[in-house]
Structure 1
């Protein structure tokens, strides 16, 4: 059932030219309250949590098919509301990967046992007084609030909505106000697939009042949030009073360590970061560590490589670097470039708005030469096309600097000596470490440590986050 919003109206802007993509009416506080009530009632009194897993899978397969029918629309929205270049490799993460993963999630959960044996020793299973069987029983957690990010809005929402529903929970999705349009496809798919009333609910708003209600209301059992570390801290505070389960996939300041035998590859780090959705990716390796004696040649090669990057509208197939999502995000890039210079750094290339583009939230591909890892540009997540290069004395020094961060989401090691590269990778403290390669798979979980978050997404561990594990002891 679709309802007209009774809250504040707001515009969704195209980051490429600042034109209005859509004007939406957000939900009022009363409508958010009604959504929470509907989700709670659907879980407590409805059939969805009690359906056999195979029955839920049949509905969710129809749900996945409905999403697939909207692939072209999702691609258009990734361009128009998120500003992702049509020719970017990140477009795969915007549309194709999550659509594929929807069906993979269904298959993965179907293969997970709902009952598992606890490995009791024999003398605990049988004694003079009774015999006991002890098992783990996995069941839905309840009402799940999913709060998704703006950079890959469909992807980050899908990894909340589909596993939560498949596990038997009811869901309330609240997308980022900068990119809310792709979330509408979930509501359409829920209706087409025949999900019972109240099982899926969508909260669209211009502000944060609805999100705050979801993170604090005692009727919500779990919050899965993707976004900045600063907001993640606030989510945790709001959820603390009711001790909700939290999955927080937050910011990163990932290190890329290039061994001396692989310095020739380092220049591509700047290209890959800057042209990956204008650097708006939490796992991107924005801190590049190279041998001090090779730093000058790496900086020169990076500047040369980026000099020919095509900056332009996301809809142009020739565009390599599109806009950041908003004027505020562009201002953040400017702020940290200035802070880097004030801290002793140097702008090697870029560092400002490009000439000739009067409209749109564009920022040049930027390489910073930093004197050390303490520089603000090395310590804070910028979330733009900005790469920091830092020299190291030896590999122990590189690892020390890589770990000297309040973040711990991802890390990268590049080396032709695979044994040495792995040895370095094992020393990096991070939720994920990529040694000469990386992947994003339904079958491998990801998540952060320190200020990069709590819990896991994807993989068996990520799916189990949406379930309660009950220890069931049966004697006789």
Structure 2
């Protein structure tokens, strides 16, 4: 990777520390990168600020920006094969996995959907003032709510779906009229340069789109503290998200934080037959590296043994191997540290009274690469460390419930609140249970990944929303405009 940045309309070579990007499948070096320096990160922030204040982008009409963003989307779609290769080589996502849809294909279609959504949104609306406030003996007023570009946006993306998590920061921000500095996770920086290349092809003014790649924290720290930045959109862990919030607090930046999750899956008694597939689904979804995955599975206590046996049987035949092999069902986790995290919480689960039903170790014959067997844990209760902490690997915990009220109580007994799942043949009862779950998203017998439906967390799972109208409005400033006469 020759260029580690795109700043003020130009590709730049890094002047900072050098680092390797590893292939999680075999630990080989995919690319050697010289990251940007602190001075280059500062230059990127300055370029974004000048570009916004000039009005060259923010001052365009929504239709004019839509035309440019349509070209932006076309430029990205030309690079679909390259994005797929990046997802396999730097993120370790199996090439045949359904998650490749989220890695590449879904976001590539979504640019046009974001453009369409923005063009449908009113740029101003009347406030619902009653007549006696609109007109009195002295004057008449019109009160409007007006949306306009917010400013400079710091976009800090995650490693599990690097293009997708960056996309849902960059594209809505640009379409809203904001300028952007993107910092990808240093474990998966390669796909980020697509936004720079698309900016060139689309003819975006210099400084509107900026990308900085670095192995350390200096650039990211500047992006969350610099007063020239108006908003930080971050996807990652709760611990880092809390640090981002603290860093942004002195300048009261707007925040959108999509953080970790420990999502519950509640299986009603009439749907227990489906529960065995939950472990297979979670573990083979990019090795469990998804913040919305239902890694806590709640089933009736009297049928727990049956579910555990079914899960073990399904996982026994899972093909573990390199992400580039079309036969692979379960690839590696992102790093040795993440593999060690799987090991740590497996041990902690057992020490707290749990039991390893299957998996729980590195697979034999795969000494190179960051692999962990698909693991099912029989957990005695919801207080077990493996039920309370996000592991972010192919590890599922199964907990028995006495009745549905008990299941809901345990589902809500978490510091997280990103997603939740309810499965039931009785749709009315399943919906009743779903409405009791405290979470930013709840999926009852199904889920969608759509530009038109927002998602986000409560509690330690984050602030704000991405996608949908709510997510688009995050990137705009609203002004109450009163006109009298």
Q: TM-score, normalised by structure 2?
A: 0.98
The DSSP-based 3-state class of the residue aligned with 1:49 is coil
Choose the corresponding residue for 1:325, options 324, 334, 340.
334
1:312 aligns to 2:317 (yes or no): no
Choose the corresponding residue for 1:151, options 160, 163, 180.
160
The DSSP-based 3-state class of the residue aligned with 1:416 is coil
Corresponding residue for 2:198?
189
1:425-467 per-residue CA deviation (whole Å, 9 max, x = no partner) reads 0000000000000011100000000000000000000000000
Corresponding residue for 2:5?
none
Corresponding residue for 2:137?
128
1:419 aligns to 2:440 (yes or no): no
Unmatched segments (≥5 aa) in structure 1: none
Alpha-carbon distance in 2 for matches of 1:437, 1:136: 36
Question: Displacement, 1:164?
Answer: 0.2
Corresponding residue for 2:13?
4
Question: Displacement, 1:102?
Answer: 1.2
1:273-306 per-residue CA deviation (whole Å, 9 max, x = no partner) reads 0000000000000000000000001001100110
Question: Displacement, 1:209?
Answer: 1.2
Unmatched segments (≥5 aa) in structure 2: 1-9
Choose the corresponding residue for 2:41, options 24, 32, 38.
32
Choose the corresponding residue for 1:50, options 34, 59, 62.
59
Corresponding residue for 1:200?
209
1:372-409 per-residue CA deviation (whole Å, 9 max, x = no partner) reads 00000000000000000000000000000000000000
Alpha-carbon distance in 2 for matches of 1:387, 1:376: 12
Choose the corresponding residue for 1:258, options 263, 267, 272.
267
Corresponding residue for 1:108?
117
The DSSP-based 3-state class of the residue aligned with 1:164 is helix
Corresponding residue for 2:406?
397
1:78 aligns to 2:60 (yes or no): no
Alpha-carbon distance in 1 for matches of 2:156, 2:328: 30
The DSSP-based 3-state class of the residue aligned with 2:246 is helix
Question: Displacement, 1:45?
Answer: 1.7
1:62-101 per-residue CA deviation (whole Å, 9 max, x = no partner) reads 1000000000000000000000000000000000000011
Choose the corresponding residue for 2:303, options 286, 294, 313.
294
Question: Displacement, 1:46?
Answer: 3.7
1:179 aligns to 2:184 (yes or no): no
Q: May I ask how many residue pairs the two structures share in their alignment?
A: 476
Q: CA RMSD in A?
A: 0.5
The DSSP-based 3-state class of the residue aligned with 2:239 is helix
Corresponding residue for 1:388?
397
1:252-275 per-residue CA deviation (whole Å, 9 max, x = no partner) reads 000000000111100000000000
Alpha-carbon distance in 2 for matches of 1:184, 1:48: 21
Choose the corresponding residue for 2:372, options 338, 349, 363.
363
Alpha-carbon distance in 1 for matches of 2:217, 2:338: 18
Corresponding residue for 2:467?
458
Alpha-carbon distance in 2 for matches of 1:417, 1:199: 51
Moved over 4 A (4+): none
Alpha-carbon distance in 2 for matches of 1:359, 1:103: 41
The DSSP-based 3-state class of the residue aligned with 1:241 is helix
The DSSP-based 3-state class of the residue aligned with 1:378 is helix
Corresponding residue for 1:164?
173
Alpha-carbon distance in 2 for matches of 1:186, 1:39: 15
The DSSP-based 3-state class of the residue aligned with 2:436 is coil
Alpha-carbon distance in 1 for matches of 2:454, 2:126: 23
1:352 aligns to 2:352 (yes or no): no
Alpha-carbon distance in 2 for matches of 1:175, 1:107: 27
1:138 aligns to 2:147 (yes or no): yes
Corresponding residue for 2:4?
none
1:19 aligns to 2:16 (yes or no): no
Choose the corresponding residue for 2:289, options 270, 280, 289.
280
